[in-house]
Amino acid sequence: MFSLSKLFLPYQGMPKEIYVIFAARIVNALGCFVMPLMTIILTQSIGLSKESAGIYLSLTGLLYLPASLLGGKLADHIGRKRVILFFDGLGIILYLLASSIQPSLDLVHVMMLAGASMTVSGPAYNSLIADLTSPENRSGAYALSYLGWNMGFAIGPVLGGVLYQHHLPWVFMGDAVTAMIALSLIALFIPETIQKTRLEVTEGTRKLERREEGSIFSVLAKRPIMLYFAVIMFGYNFAYSQWAFMLPIQTMQLFPETGARYFGYLAGFNGLIVMVFTPIVTKLAEKTPVMRRMVYGGLFYAVGFGMLGVLNSLFFVFLWSFTFTLGEIILAISVTPFIADHSPSSHRGRMNAVVPLLFNLGNTLGPFGMGKVLNYISIESGWKGLGVSTFIFTLLMFGLEFYEKRDQRVDMNSEVESI
């Protein structure tokens, strides 16, 4: 057993800006009402079929892809903070607009644009944290940011589920107001960090962070492991996307009268588990290699999602949600540090856009793919299939761990020979 002080050791001694980001993430997630309820808004409020809802969710994901690329490019050229202030501000305006629109396809389009605008800021946030940290404290910094989001997320979707039933406009208004407060914290207390990347000295264990010339594609050509990694994460994310697509549909089928409220409880439960277990998992995993952590994360996904097709009473839905949430925690504290540790400081924004773009295609295509599949099989069979496929991708991640170790041995031998 760990004492409470030891559990929080990975979060201590950070630059003060990291704690400001932590606070901003809490506030932002407190008002995260729209995205967790998007499937229910599409199917229940607007009246779309499951297949049509899946198509719209996938189209939303497709819209996020160029948005993320744009964000990465801008973050590396005009600065992290400028990108965050402009595009998060635009997203706030769009959510305020959405609060005045009746349920319709027009509302869907505004929701999609608001989400895309805030997606542009994603690479800038990740680059900001990478600029402010080193490999020694980077995992803790990203874990703290993730923890902050989920502290708010433990409450936000529950409030959103309650508001949805009788006050749909407040779902959008609340999202806008909390995002505005969070953005004010960034504006007041976070300096621009892009100039830091031009002054960094990255020797020894930080060789992969040295500045490089050329395009992001030339950088990736020298790091094929990032492309293999993206393919495997695509499989993980395809499964995880069903948390926002198949699970609310299944919840509404199992509990027709109370499904929206129960799904709000599930989303809040997810946030609560993350809040409680992130410090524990971070402490337990601090000496485990990042690649091995991601193997464990895949195993939790395979069991959690697969078993939703076997046992799905309310108790077991919460149990398997707990299981895949543990996988989510492990991957959340591992994936972004892995990308940062393999990114030249000159290309952090673009690497945090392109690599996640590739594996987030799993999130994008997941609702569309399963929306099609559910025309022919039951939700239970869909979950079982996801469990099997996720286990296969877990085995591939295990193989990638050995590939990385082999590359490290080759580099070490080359350095010895050159001395």
DSSP 289: -
Cβ–Cβ < 8 Å for 313, 393:
no
Residues 6+ apart with CB under 8 A from 297: 236, 327, 328, 329, 330, 331, 334
How much is the pLDDT for 5? 66
Q: Mean of the pLDDT values across residues 120-125?
A: 92
**Angle between helix 246-254 and helix 259-285 axes, rounded to 10 deg:** 130
Region for 3 from its dihedrals, namely left if φ exceeds 0, alpha if ψ lies in -120 to 50, beta otherwise? beta
Q: How confident is the model at residue 308 (pLDDT cuts 50, 70, 90)?
A: very high
Q: Is the pLDDT of residue 416 over 50?
A: no
Give every CB contact of residue 264 below 8 A, 6+ residues apart in sequence: 36, 37, 157, 158, 160, 161, 162, 164
Give the whole-angstrom CA distance, residue 17 versus residue 134: 14
Which structural domains are found in the chain, ordered by start?
14-418 (1.20.1250.20)
Q: Rounded distance, CA 6 to CA 221, Å? A: 41
**195-219 mean pLDDT:** 72
Residue 409 is predicted with a pLDDT of 64
Neighbour-count burial of 181, counting CB atoms closer than 10 A to its CB (0-12 exposed, 13-18 middle, 19+ buried): middle
Q: Where are the beta strands (DSSP E) in 326-378?
A: none
Q: Mean pLDDT highest for which of 77-81, 194-198, 219-223?
A: 77-81
Mean pLDDT of 239-250: 90
Residue 205 banded pLDDT, cuts 50, 70, 90 = low
What pLDDT is stored for residue 400 in this prediction? 92
Average pLDDT over residues 115-127: 91
pLDDT the model gives residue 87: 96
Residue 341 has pLDDT above 80, yes or no: yes
- Residue-level pLDDT at 4: 63
pLDDT in tens, 178-190: 999 999 999 999 9
